[in-house]
Amino acid sequence: MSEENIRNVRDSKVLAAMSHPLRRRLLDLLRLDGPATASMLAEKTGQAVGNVSHHLKVLAASEFIEEAPELARDQRERWWRRIVDGFRWAASDFPDDPIAEAAEQLSLEHQSAVYREWLTRRDSEPEPWRSSGAFSVDHWAKMSVAELRELDERIIALFTEYSNREIPDDGEERRPVFLVGRASVGQP
């Protein structure tokens, strides 16, 4: 995820478009699995093709995805691909906008849901995935605003390194891993 392919979101309509739970899942699937048709995505999400198609059009209008006509086998088939690797936004860019508050809540719910899903199925996973498939860490630290920004940049750089690397052809099993980093100012 190079910095130039990160979408800085400053429009609340775009923020609303990307925060919708199904649209977020479609973005995730297009990032992990590559281009797909509405039918393929409907099968993966358990949604109706028409519903998925509608949400793909909203994401396209917000310039997160685009059609990939070169992949179509005929004129009726429509393929979609993600055109941004990620997005950044801050609630402070949307003062007094309830969409930002809702987007923050939806993002946290999405992140928690992915982890909860892992917890419900981890015992059925083979070793070593069961013992290494997820970790959690938290710390308290006293930091300045500059230090917090530096930490943010370092975490994003590390996540980006793993997200965009060439996958070695070494016979090792690789699975999708959801990486989350959050920091908040607070009190213990």
Buried residues in 63-79 as b, exposed as e (16+ CB within 10 A): ebbeebeeeeeeeeebb
Confidence at 160, pLDDT banded by 50, 70, 90: confident
How far is 3 from 159, CA to CA, in rounded Å? Answer: 12
In sequence order, the 6+-apart residues with CB closer than 8 A to the CB of 156 are 181
User: What per-residue confidence (pLDDT) applies to 3?
Assistant: 52
pLDDT at 49: 97
Query: If you average pLDDT over every residue of the chain, what do you get?
Result: 92
Q: How many residues does the chain have?
A: 188
Q: State the architecture of 3-164 in CATH terms.
A: Orthogonal Bundle (1.10)
Q: What is the mean pLDDT of residues 26-32?
A: 95
Band of residue 2 on the pLDDT scale cut at 50, 70, 90: very low
Q: Where are the domains of the chain?
A: 3-164
CA dihedral 20, 25, 26, 28 (to 10 degrees): 120
User: pLDDT tens across 53-106, in order?
Assistant: 999 999 999 999 999 999 999 989 999 999 998 888 988 899 999 999 999 999
